[in-house]
Structures are given as C-alpha cells and as structure tokens.
Amino acid sequence: MATYAIGDIQGCYDELRQLLKNINFKSDSDTLWFTGDLVNRGPKSLETLRFIKDLEDNAIVVLGNHDLHLLAVAYTETRPGRKDTLDEILKAADREELLNWLEHQPLLHTDNATHLTMVHAGIHPDWSIEKAQSLAHEVEAVLQSEQHINFYDHMYGNKPEIWSDGLQGWPRLRYITNVFTRLRFCHQNGALALGHKCEPGAQPEGLQPWFSMKNRTNGNDNIIFGHWSTLILAKGIQYGNVHPLDTGCLWGGNLTAMRIDDASFTKTVLDCPRSSQPDI
C-alpha cells in the first residue's frame, strides 16, 4: 500500500495515466491525493474527472479554483473564458453525476496519521490548521446545500483583502475560498495580494509568498499544495515543510507525484506542451 499526492492535472489525462504507470499505481490498494484543479485548459477534462471519480475511496481530492469555475459555469450565467475547455463535461450524459461528486469534495484535507494537510493554493499565515479546517467546513456546507448557486454568483472577486473573524455572509465565504484556492502572496499585514501571480522574487516590494510570512501560525505544519506553477522557476526558495506540487504540466512542464511516506518525487516522462507561458 502506498499513498501519493499529485499536482494540478487540469485535464492532462494522458500525462496522469503515464504518471500512474511510472509509480506502478495499484487501484485496489494505493491511494492518490489530488491538489485540485482536476479540470480546465487541458484537452481531456472529462476523462480526467471520470477517472478520478471512479477511484472512489482510493482518491482524496481538494477543490481548486478551476474546479469551482466549472461549477459556476455549469450552474449560473457565468460565461466560460476564452481558454476554458469545459464543453465536454457540460454536454456529457453523466454531467450532473460528475458535478454533484465535485461539489462534495473538500477544500482542505488533513491526515492525522501522517500529520499532513493538503490544500489547493495555501493557508492564511494567521490561521492554525484547526481554524483552517473549521473555515473550510463553512464553505463546504454551502456547496452541498440549496445555496450553492447563490454561492457561485458571489464567489468571484478579490475583496475583502483583510480577514476578520467578524466577516459575515458572502464576503466571508469569498475570502475563505480565495485563501484556499487562489492565494500566492500576502502583504506584510496579512492582506491578500491576489492580483500578483508571478514567481517569488519578481513580486512588488512588500509582498511575500504566504508560506514565507514571518511568524506564520501554521509554520510547523506540513502542507501540500498546488496552484502556483511558477514556483518551479524560482531560485533560492526554501520550502521547508511545505510541498508545492504544481510543476506546470499544462504549459510544457511535468506532472509530479510525491510519495507520502518518504517524500520522494516522481515526474512524468511525457511532457504536455500546450503553451509557452505558465497557465495561472
């Protein structure tokens, strides 16, 4: 029995199957963790979604921003973006079954046995893992309720930038969602800087990667995340006990798996060259 965490797939299904062959994945005994962004921009989002759903208890998934975008496009008047590749899912005969399964996936997963936490983008530097779990449950409850369509209508936007325990309603849920699915940089006061998507070192003065913030409350916790493909370009970054797994398969990099028990890494030998620029 082995457990592997895998970075953002974004519809690169062929690369996923190649990676699973490389690690000799056994679907009857091994477990796969997925950092979110299962779909969109790549060519085979439908095949990817079906495959991971069919893994049942052998797959643990956290939601990414592209997964939530799919749900918003499916259930609201949100229009697909120019680069979106969601049509096959939206027209599939099993569309509702797939979307319902996706809505029941968490935003954050913590494994008590390994003391690892997985999230798509990051965890606010002022939040403990316990607080992050509680806040994730708030959003998950809405996603799985009759309010889910209203949530998608209010999901988009960069405001508020500052967290307060007193935040309520849609601004509170939007902030929590932005942290777990879009976070990269923070201002020194902890405010989110969601408009900046560059590699560390290229950001404006005063911004820091969320995992590099001084006195980070969750600084002693082991955290797996995806989302930030340009991290693989950064030089001299000390990751410590955080493990970034989005290695840019979508734009010509590799799809990466980390074996949980020894933190060893395996990458695809089959590259997925679709763009000359990172998809962010």
- Specify whether the CB–CB gap between 121 and 228 falls below 8 A: yes
For domain 3-267, give its CATH number from 3.30.70.330, 3.60.21.10, 3.10.20.30, 3.40.640.10: 3.60.21.10
Written as tens digits, the pLDDT of the chain (280 aa) is 899 999 999 999 999 999 999 999 999 999 999 999 999 999 999 999 999 999 999 999 999 999 999 999 999 999 999 999 999 999 999 999 999 999 999 999 999 999 999 999 999 999 999 999 999 999 999 999 999 999 999 999 999 999 999 999 999 999 999 999 999 999 999 999 999 989 998 999 999 999 999 999 999 999 999 999 988 756 667 688 999 999 999 988 899 999 998 766 676 644 455 544 444 4
Per the document, the length of the chain is 280
What tokens were used for 22? 């490389």
User: For position 276, what pLDDT does the model report?
Assistant: 44
- What is the spatial distance between Cα 273 and Cα 165, in angstroms, rounded to a whole number? 43
Evaluated on CA atoms 87, 90, 93, 99, the torsion sign reads positive
Cα(123)–Cα(178) distance, rounded to whole angstroms? 10
* C-alpha Rg value of the chain to the nearest Å: 18
Whether this prediction's pTM lies above 0.85 is answered by: yes
Contact 101, 189 (CB under 8 A): no
Q: Where are the domains of the chain?
A: 3-267
pLDDT of residue 233: 59
